[in-house]
Amino acid sequence: MRYTLSETWSGIKSNISMTIAVIVTMWVSLSLFGAGLLAYQQVELMKGGWYDKIEISVFLCNADSTGDNCTPGEDVTEDEKAAIEQTLRENPEVAEVHHETKEEAFEEFQKAFAGTSMEGTVTVEQMQESYRIKLVDPEQYEGVVSAVVGMPGVQAVQDLREVLDRLFEWLGLLQWGTVIASALLLLAASLQIANTIRMAAFARRREIGIMRLVGASNFYIMLPFLLEALISALIGAALACGTLALGMQFLIRQKAQVLIQASPWIGWQHAGLAMGGVAIVAIALAIIPTLVATRRYLRV
């Protein structure tokens, strides 16, 4: 064991500049990889939190409404309302249906625009009745929309997912962009590790040859190189985990969480999962390139 540790330390000292380069590359690439994992968890958390609150709003015709399903100058009839409500309640994708009257819509409008120039610009009669629909599964909404969108008396069907899906599409692109960038940097780190180990093995090729001739096992010969790579990778992983922890504390908990309190945010348990992923990738990046780089020198 003393020989292994001394050879590991000797290898690190003789290739100190390459070792530092590997550590820095691992630090940056693993930090980006961890940030990608955190971003993925944040997007999934936001989807779960916001999609559960999604309602489909079916706005009914009034005297001012225009559209193929509305009669100009007339409100929706009682028969049309009954048909729309029956269609909604019989739909297996619908969990709950709430009828909002003109008076309730006017009250909500007054609350929303109290103290602004919009207050007092409309009357109760100008408001639209609507049905607010909760879904059994927020992911399954197309069937409800298609069932009522063409019915007489329906002026418009509004689904918040139309807005959220675009938002999550952009967040997903950002998410994958981070993962791809980190993957390229991780590839660069693995190549650096392989080159560093290859240079160290080449410098000690005669010693390795003698050890093979006297019967030393492949694992015993490889162990100093493996430890050298592991030390570099674990230092890079520790720095990356520290970076993720700082970002979690100062960017998420002290900034984003305070500014946008309505949205669910990732916590330390999510950061712990990301750090675990960083550690696993770091170990894999140390072991695999080392096995590949030293393989040719283990044949005598």
Per residue of the chain (300 residues), what is the pLDDT tens digit? Answer: 565 556 555 655 566 777 787 788 888 888 888 888 888 888 777 776 666 667 788 889 888 888 788 888 888 888 999 999 999 998 888 888 988 888 888 888 888 777 777 767 788 888 888 998 888 876 677 778 888 888 998 888 877 666 666 767 777 777 777 778 777 877 877 777 777 777 766 666 676 666 666 666 666 667 777 787 888 889 989 999 999 999 998 888 888 777 766 567 888 899 999 999 999 988 988 888 777 777 665 554
- The CA–CA distances, whole Å, from 117 to 102, 110, 113, 122, 235 equal 21, 11, 8, 11, 60
- Per-domain boundaries in the chain: 2-50+165-298, 55-159
Predicted local confidence at residue 20, as pLDDT: 83
* DSSP code string of 184-219: HHHHHHHHHHHHHHHHHHHHTHHHHHHHHHTT--HH
Q: pTM of the entire structure?
A: 0.61
Predicted local confidence at residue 245, as pLDDT: 94
Neighbours of 51 (CB within 10 A): 18
67: left (phi over 0), alpha (psi -120 to 50) or beta: left
CB 88 within 8 A of CB 133: yes
Predicted local confidence at residue 300, as pLDDT: 44
Q: What is the DSSP letter of 252?
A: I
Neighbours of 75 (CB within 10 A): 20
Q: By C-alpha distance, which of 263, 248, 199 is closest to 225? A: 199
* DSSP code string of 1-62: -HHHHHHHHHHHHHTHHHHHHHHHHHHHHHHHHHHHHHHHHHHHHHHHHHHTT-EEEEEEP-
Predicted local confidence at residue 42, as pLDDT: 83
Q: Hey, what amino acid is at 81?
A: K
Predicted local confidence at residue 246, as pLDDT: 93
d(CA 280, CA 284): 6
Neighbours of 52 (CB within 10 A): 10
Q: What is the DSSP letter of 127?
A: S
120: left (phi over 0), alpha (psi -120 to 50) or beta: left
d(CA 289, CA 194): 5
Identify the CATH class of 55-159: alpha beta
For the record, the structure tokens of 183 come out as 């993957």
